[in-house]
Structure formats: structure tokens, C-alpha cells
Amino acid sequence: MRPKRPGCTGTRRQFLLDTGMGFTGLALNAMLFRDGVAQASPSTQEVLSAWQTGEAKAKSVIWMFMIGGTSHVESFDPKPELTKYAGKSIDETPYREAADQGRINQILAEPGKEKREVFKKILPLIAGHRKHGQSGIEVSDLFPHIGGAVDDISFLRGMWTIDNNHGAQLTFHTGRKIGDTGHPTVGAWASYGLGTLNANLPEFVVLGEPSADCCGRSFTFGSAYLGPEYGGVRLKVDPKNPLSFVHPADPKLTLEEQREAFSLIGELNQLSGIDYPTDAELNARLKAYELAFQMQMAVPGIMDFSGEPEHVKRLYGLDRKECLAFGSQCLAARRLVEQGVRFVQLFHGYSGNAGRWDHHKDIARLMPPMCAEIDQPIAGLIHDLKQRGMLEETLVVWGTEFGRTPGAEFRDANVSGSGRDHHPHGFTCFMAGGGTKGGFVHGATDELGFHAVEGRQYVTDLHATVLHQLGLNHRMMHPGRQRLEQDFGNVIREILV
């Protein structure tokens, strides 16, 4: 018998007792218990205790995803050898075995399905790099602000993945190749395992435009078989329209009119309840309307930054045009986490296609402005969380579907600047806060940044680590489904405090 979160089927009463009435989570359940609508359910407790370890280090997660594949060698894994051997073939360097085809095929889920040429002619680094902080960790000069925060960050330089095309975006969130489509994402597992801390808000929130149709779309924050209530809820950083159905379809409806309507609904439902005094569903529905009204109030408020002091907004770069969009997402993420949202997933680089980080060409011209869009906001977020004492309980994760090749990609003879191709064999992600070490590097790629050679971590290892820090034994969660070893991943203990 496998533990299954109660609530899929069953009788009405069981259902009411077990699911917290199918609400956004356990907090509401607790509320209803308190109010005597439902009774505490031993089975809920039993099931949850099967996978909650009671040793949570983090309460919330802010998960940032760069769509398209950010170059690791031009971000957090600088490789001076590339500049040294610029223009030479990998075969002419001491590291020629890096380009061995057998080695390249080894990690791919479907080698040969997506034939990609190995670009051997080495492209020099497009930017300098320097040591930062007390830890002296080297970071590309394209990220001066994040450079300033390295002492709060654990870098994972030995990441690898299984798809050399952008289906890897989905893989990054589920551990599965794109053909497998719907599997629960890390955020869905977190929300499934923990429930919310604030019943006025969804427990799993998505900000920014997610991966496009090609590369996973809503599956990158989906909950698949866990059930829709555990999937990410997309909010827009727009106080005017942050959530589906949060605003009345009638633009002329005033708050007062709506309050009256909700209160009429409540009154009429209560009157009808006289005939059905033991109908717990009716009581739950009454409660749901009260909460809906609160949620409608709470969500737009989160996205309204007018109460934030100017210096805080500046911290996120909101005064800079290039930082405004992502900086707003980062600030909204902090505000959501402050209100008890468990998992905030941020997307950056939507292009309607593979993603704006997909620098096949002219990387020297196209990549620096994109780095500027995220550098200050991310550093600002880490700084802000820290100064509020929230960083210890908030795990910040930065990732992308893969890195980029050491070799130059010349696909179009007319384009002057070259770029780098997809590179699943070694790339970098990082984590900050939430019980991870600061000023720490785990894993490494070889001298060319080709293969991850030390501290090799598959993408689900990130998931395992996140869930572990949230106090979940992710291996215990398999609600009636077969999960592969690959789905579970291993906790990256090296980076934990």
C-alpha cells in the first residue's frame, strides 16, 4: 500500500474529513477544525507524517528559471582556457577527449534523436571574470551584483541533464524528457507535501511568462496526477489583474456592490441550510465564499508595491528600465513568501519559442543585456531577504535547462558574431539561503567547461534538495504511481549547512 494523499475518492464525509475539504491546503482544514465544521482526521495526520520529516530548514522556496539555456562559462563557471585556446579546435588542445562522441552520448536520454554537431572551434569568453567576496569565488563580470553576493551562495557547477534540446526545460522541472509530458514538478510536490501557510493565497505561485509551447508550457509548473489543486497558480505582477477570476467580469462592479452580493450569497445559503443542518458541504461552501472574498482582497495587494520604500525598490533595480520586469517579479516573490506562499516559481527569458537565453549566435552582443536584466534583481532579492532575516527560511534556487558549448557555433555565414550551442553535459545552477552554505562551490566541469567531472548532479537532485530542506522525505511521496529512480534524485548534502 502506498501512501496516497487522501481525497481522491471516497464518501462525502471521508472526503470532508480527509482533504481539508479539498481546499488550498491544510491550513484551511485546520481553520475548519477550529470552527468545528470538520473534525481532525487521523488519516490525514498519519499520511502526512509518513513524508514530513519534522526537520524543515526552509519554509519557502523561490525558484528562478532562465528560459533558453544560460551559458555557464559566461556566468558562474568561468573558463579562462577558452580564451587561451580561442579559435583552436578542441582537438588541438590538451583536452581533446572531451569531444569524444561516446562520452557525449552517454548522458542523453535519446542519443541520436536530436543530432547535434560538436562545435570544436573554441569561442573565447565574451567577458572577463574575477574573484568575489571572502570566499573568492569567480564569477563572470556580466554579473557584478550577484558577484557581490557569492558569500551567501552555493554554486553547483557539476549539473547535467538528458536532453540536448529545449525539452530540457520540462526535464528541469520534472526530471522527465519532453515525450513523457505530464509529471509533477518540484513545486507541485512541495505544495502537495506541505500545504499552505496562508489560506488567502495559493501555495504555489508562478510569476513571469512560462516556457513556450515547444518546451513544456504549463507542464513546467504542473502537478499532473497529483491533482490540479497542487499545480502552480499563475499570478501576474499586476495589481489590476493578478489571478484568473479574481476580478469581476463586470468592470463597473464596485467593491461595495460586490460585498453586498457576497453577503447576500452568504445569507441565502445560511437560510437554505436551515433545511439541511447536517450538510457539512454547505458549511464548507459558506466558508469558501468568505475566503474567496479575502483572496480577492489579498492577491492584488501583494502585487501593489506602492507601500514599499524607494530604497527597497532600488535594491531590486526597479528604477532601471532593464531591471524593472524581473525586479518586480523578485520583489513580488519576496512579498508572497512573506505572506506564507510555499513555492514561488519565476520565469525569465520567454520568447514564444526556445527562450531568450538561447544564444546560438552573437552571444557577445545579445547576452550582456540579458544578464543586466536579472543581475541586480537577484542580488537585491538575496540581500533583501537577508536583511529581513528571511534568507534562513527561504531557499532561493537559480537554474536554467542547460549550459552552452565551449565551441563556437557558426550556423549562418551572414551573421558576424558567433554563439554557443546547447550543452547538457555540464552547467551551473545555484542555491542561496534555506539552510544551504554560503560562499561554497560544489562540483566542477573540466577545463573547457565541457563535461561535469566532479560533484555531478542531475536536475532531480535539485528537487530532492529543495524538498529535503522543506522537511519532506520526497521518497515517501508516490501517490499510487510508479516513480523512477531518476524521478527521486538525491539530496546534495555537500551544500547543506
Partner 1 sequence: MPWKARIVPVQNPVPDSHSAVTRILLMLALGPGTVLATPANQKAAANHFEHFLPATLTKCDLCHLPSSNHAPESLEEFPHNAFGRELAGMGKKVALSDRLQQAGSRDSDGDGVANLAEILLGGHPGDARVKPDSLAQLGGREEALAAFLKRYPWQPFKPVTRPELPPSGVPHPIDVFINEQLAARDLKPLGEATAAQLARRIHVDLTGLQPTPAEVAAFTADHAVEPDAAVRRLADRLLADPRHGERWGRHFMDIWRYSDWEGYKGAVRLSQPHIWRWRDWIIESLNANKPYDRMVQEMLAGDELAPTDEDAVRATGYLARNFQSDRLQWMDNIVEHTSKAFMGLTMNCVKCHDHKYDPIPQTDYYAIRAVFEPYQVRTDPVPGQMDVAKDGLPRAYDKTLTAVTYLFQRGDERFPIKDKPVAPGVPALFGGDLKVKPVSLPLVAQQPEKSDHYKAAMLAAVESLADRELREMKRRTLEQQLELEALEDGGMNKKSADWQARAVKVAELQRQTALAEARAEKDRAEDALQKAMATKPLTTAVKKAIVTAKTNATAATKALAAAEEAMQSAVKATDYQPRKVTTYPATSSGRRLAFARWLTSPQNTLFARVAVNHLWIRHFGTGLVATPDDFGANGQKPTHPALLDWLAAEFMESGYDLRHMHRLILGSAVYRRAGASGPAVANDAVDPDNRWYWRAPVRRMEGEAVRDNLLHVAGLLDGTSGGPELASEAAETSRRRSIYHRHAQETQAELVQIFDGARPNECYQRERSIKPHQALALANSRVTLDASVALEARLAREVGTDDMVFVTAAFEHILNRPPSDAERRVSAGFLAKSGGDGLRRRQHFLGALFNHNDFITLR
Interactions with partner 1, residue window 63-102 (CB under 8 A): none
Collapse the DSSP code of 270 into the 3-class scheme (helix H, G, I; strand E, B; otherwise coil) and give the result: helix
Q: Interface with partner 1 includes 417 (CB under 8 A)? A: no
Least Å distance, CB 125 to partner 1, is: 34
User: Which residue in the block uniquely carries the three cell numbers 550543452?
Assistant: 423
Indicate the residue among 247 and 314 with the shorter CB distance to partner 1: 247
C-alpha span between 136 and 143 (Å, rounded):
15
C-alpha span between 218 and 166 (Å, rounded):
14
Least Å distance, CB 413 to partner 1, is: 17
- Binding to partner 1 in span 286-305, by CB under 8 A: 286, 288-289, 291-296
Phi and psi at 112, nearest 5°, equal: 90, -20
Phi and psi at 169, nearest 5°, equal: -65, -40
- Binding to partner 1 in span 152-191, by CB under 8 A: 177-182
Indicate the residue among 284 and 391 with the shorter CB distance to partner 1: 284
Collapse the DSSP code of 227 into the 3-class scheme (helix H, G, I; strand E, B; otherwise coil) and give the result: coil
Q: Interface with partner 1 includes 127 (CB under 8 A)? A: no
Task: Please give the grid coordinates belonging to residue 180.
Answer: 513523457
Indicate the residue among 252 and 321 with the shorter CB distance to partner 1: 252
Task: Please give the C-alpha separations between residue 497 and each of 166, 432, 435, in angstroms, as whole numbers.
Answer: 33, 11, 6
Least Å distance, CB 214 to partner 1, is: 5
User: Which residue in the block uniquely carries the three cell numbers 526530471?
Assistant: 175
Size of the site for partner 1 (CB under 8 A): 86
Least Å distance, CB 287 to partner 1, is: 8
Indicate the residue among 135 and 294 with the shorter CB distance to partner 1: 294
- Binding to partner 1 in span 251-270, by CB under 8 A: 257-258, 260-262, 264-265, 267-269
Indicate the residue among 14 and 89 with the shorter CB distance to partner 1: 14
Collapse the DSSP code of 129 into the 3-class scheme (helix H, G, I; strand E, B; otherwise coil) and give the result: strand
Least Å distance, CB 128 to partner 1, is: 39
Indicate the residue among 149 and 233 with the shorter CB distance to partner 1: 233
Q: Interface with partner 1 includes 213 (CB under 8 A)? A: yes
Q: Which of 57, 313, 386, 483 binds partner 1 (CB under 8 A)?
A: 483
Least Å distance, CB 88 to partner 1, is: 38
Let me know: does 340 contact 400? Beta carbons within 8 Å.
no
Indicate the residue among 101 and 278 with the shorter CB distance to partner 1: 278
C-alpha span between 479 and 494 (Å, rounded):
29
- Binding to partner 1 in span 269-288, by CB under 8 A: 269, 271-272, 274-279, 281-282, 284-286, 288
**What spatial distance separates the first Cα and last Cα of the chain, rounded to whole Å?**
35
Let me know: does 76 contact 117? Beta carbons within 8 Å.
no
Q: Where are the beta strands (DSSP E) in 315-461?
A: 343-348, 394-400, 403-404, 422-423, 427-432, 440-442, 444-445, 452-454, 457-458
Q: Give 32's Cβ-side CA count (13 Å radius).
A: 31
Nearest-10 Cα torsion for 354, 222, 158, 99: -40
What string marks each residue from 233 to 252 as x (binds partner 1 by CB under 8 A) or -?
----------xxxxxxxx--
Q: Interface with partner 1 includes 339 (CB under 8 A)? A: no
**Of 96, 146, 108, 180, nearest in space to 423 by CA:** 108
Least Å distance, CB 295 to partner 1, is: 5
- Binding to partner 1 in span 17-46, by CB under 8 A: 19, 21-24, 43, 46
Indicate the residue among 120 and 422 with the shorter CB distance to partner 1: 422
Indicate the residue among 177 and 437 with the shorter CB distance to partner 1: 177
Indicate the residue among 456 and 483 with the shorter CB distance to partner 1: 483
Least Å distance, CB 222 to partner 1, is: 8
Q: Candidates 133-141, 310-318, 400-408, 471-479 — which segment interacts with partner 1 by CB under 8 A?
A: 471-479
Indicate the residue among 293 and 398 with the shorter CB distance to partner 1: 293
Collapse the DSSP code of 481 into the 3-class scheme (helix H, G, I; strand E, B; otherwise coil) and give the result: coil
The rounded radius of gyration (Å) of the Cα atoms in the chain is 24
Q: Where are the beta strands (DSSP E) in 12-110?
A: 60-66
Q: Which of 9, 134, 306, 414 binds partner 1 (CB under 8 A)?
A: 9
User: Which residue in the block uniquely carries the three cell numbers 551584483?
Assistant: 145
